[in-house]
Chain A
């Protein structure tokens, strides 16, 4: 048990170094980073598309066109939310998605095989579950950012309110 715990910690430390180095690498590969509003492209956007269904789970329609429409709407709302954050925070968010888009980080830190485009939902779920309570604070922070961005943005939209019994503001007051 002792040995297993120790080797786990070792992997954790290696993971942290990879995370930090990955962020730097991502920034190097994508200059000039900011001050510009965040734009998620390519594999970074695929990360978001893979994480959203795992994070939102059963509130999304089960399949077909309604599911695709809900996913597209959720993605749009997350981007809108990010664009309201300070530019320095947008840069941190961009770094997080950029890092997760890198193959080694995806495999080593998130444990997701192959690309994000066709990520196995169970692996994405396991990744969120692991980061949520991970022994490394940095990964819990990253999970927290994904949680608040995706879930908060989802419930920001009035179309999601009737399902949770929230009547929304008094309509008579609004023009």
Chain B
């Protein structure tokens, strides 16, 4: 455990209303003005604004409340404790591995802190295709600015680590522009373990900002509570039925929690929110619920360098390139964003193809390995309609995401680009993460070989850390199940405030898009429910500051 002071421990000692439902020995019924399902980017922002506005809020979280005293920077403990399905959530055909948080703070507790406003071209597309007229850069700017201030999203002043700098240097030699990534940190130690929960409370995740602030203002947090079903009567939700999970988070204990509120806000992320609505048999006259789920399908290229890269050390993501998001029209061949991932043994060893002596030889080069990511911008083309969420027999969500030839074309171009940049940065060899890929020793050799690689399920490893869509917004009910104000069409007291609102992928790491957009939605909702202007959160709203 971390030896630093733990703001969550301090808050609990002060008497925050937090119930670990794993410990319940009887069923419970609770009432509030608003029930917020999920405590990640959307749920955290929403809960704080509602609580500051004087509304009585209950936050329901399926995961556990873990904090810096628990964050020991070990993958073996972080993945089962903090991620959906031990960081091994998969699409139906197992072709894509999905990294998603399941803990208080959701994915913000384990993300890599990359903060981008929603790109202008994405908003322009939403305006044109889905009629989202008030989603302009100008209209959203004050909301992004408010959350940037709230979460200390600023330019990161420290030099990039070598893993990031190789992207910058390689791209520069090819005249490909790169920029620096802004981060939501305050007093960051530049350690590199963001993905396992910040041990120093520098990351301004929901866990240490909005959730403590909401709790400070009287909100109640239920952990190990899975939202099972909204009880819908006519056009209203009468209650939310939850089941308590045991301490491992795997099995129901048999205890049930019934929550009644004036309004229900769903913030479980783009897989769990559509699934909750499907289990609730929410109205869906046009068959859109759980459809158009986007992932930014992501592929990896590994380079070996003479010098030490030490991809495990230092802020994980500080350099990016959007060059290949702009070389084609947004609705043309798939564009991709370039970033790098932090490298730690479990994630790296699982991703690297092959086994036995070949795999061992790759791992033996660990400090010299560089990895680059191409995140493909999905959802802007007829052949990139995304995935769909359905329910397994046990009610759990299953995401079916077919990787179409159109996407494989983007994968191939992404792997080519990354290899070229890595060689330009001085790589001794480059291996596309593909079962038939080899360690190529020159760019011409890699270019020829990648050009010939067959692309099919699981040959190229495809990952995602950005799940979006499934409850897409449009005021035209034929184009989306939620309105531009986040209300679920056909239900008077149910809103969606998370990444599932997005009618396409974002084309950038989505956390700031979720923060800014849900802040506006939550402020509108707070005003409507309280009859007075919504409170404006700031960095001084709660127990959020580092000493």
Tell me the A125-144 residues at the B interface (CB within 8 Å).
125, 128, 132-133, 137, 140-141, 144
Secondary structure call for the B interface: loop
Given A84-B86, A85-B85, A141-B458, CB of A151 within 8 Å of CB of B359: yes
The answer, yes or no, to whether A29 is at the interface (CB within 8 Å) is no
- CB neighbours of A158 from chain B (8 A): 74
A57 interface contact, C-beta 8 A: yes
List of B residues within 8 angstroms of A59 by Cβ: 360, 363
Question: Interface-forming stretch among B332-340, B344-352, B538-546?
Answer: B344-352
B299 to nearest A CB, angstroms?
15
A59 — nearest CB in chain B belongs to which residue? B360
B400 interface residue per 8 A CB criterion: no
B94 at the interface (CB under 8 A from A): yes
Q: Complex Cα distance A147/B346, Å?
A: 12
| Closest Cβ–Cβ distance, residue B283 to chain A (whole Å) | 28
| Secondary structure class of chain A's binding surface, majority of residues | helix
Instruction: Pick the residue among B2, B94, B350 that contacts A152 (CB under 8 A).
Output: B350
The reply on B452 being an interface residue by CB < 8 A is: no
Contact of B74 among A37, A145, A169 (CB under 8 A): A169
Do the beta carbons of B356 and A55 come within 8 Å of each other?
Answer: yes
CB distance from B361 to the nearest CB of A (A): 8
- Do B396 and A88 touch across chains, with their CB atoms under 8 A apart? yes
Stretch in contact with the other chain, from A7-15, A65-73, A106-114, A159-167:
A159-167
Whether the pair B76, A157 counts as a contact (CB closer than 8 A) is yes
Closest to A165 in B: B367
B458 and A86 contact, CB distance less than 8 A: no
Contacts of A157 in B (CB 8 A): 76
Chain B residues near A147 (CB, 8 Å)? 350, 355
The answer to whether B366 has its CB under 8 Å from any CB of chain A is: yes
**Bound CA span A97–B142, Å:** 55
Does A87 make an interface contact (CB < 8 A)?
yes
Contacts of A164 in B (CB 8 A): 345, 363-364, 366
- Proximity string of chain B (205-218) to chain A, C-beta cutoff 8 Å, 1 when within and 0 when not: 00000000000000
Query: Is the beta-carbon distance between B360 and A58 smaller than 8 angstroms?
Result: yes
Q: Could you mark each residue 70-82 of chain A with 1 if its beta carbon is under 8 Å from any beta carbon of chain B, else 0?
A: 0000000000110
Residue B24 lies at the interface, judged by CB distance under 8 Å to chain A: no
Binding site for A on B (CB under 8 A): 1-4, 72-76, 79-80, 85-86, 88, 93-94, 191, 193, 199-200, 250-251, 312, 344-346, 348-350, 354-360, 363-364, 366-367, 392, 394, 396, 435-436, 456-459
Binding site for B on A (CB under 8 A): 35, 37, 54-59, 80-81, 84-89, 125, 128, 132-133, 137, 140-141, 144-145, 147-148, 151-152, 154-158, 160-161, 163-170, 173-175
Given contacts A57-B359, A173-B4, 7 further A-B contacts (CB under 8 A): A57-B360, A59-B360, A86-B396, A87-B250, A144-B94, A155-B345, A156-B345
A selection of 16 A-B contacts at a CB cut-off of 8 Å is A57-B360, A86-B396, A132-B355, A137-B456, A147-B355, A151-B350, A151-B359, A154-B349, A155-B346, A163-B364, A167-B312, A169-B72, A169-B191, A170-B191, A174-B3, A175-B2
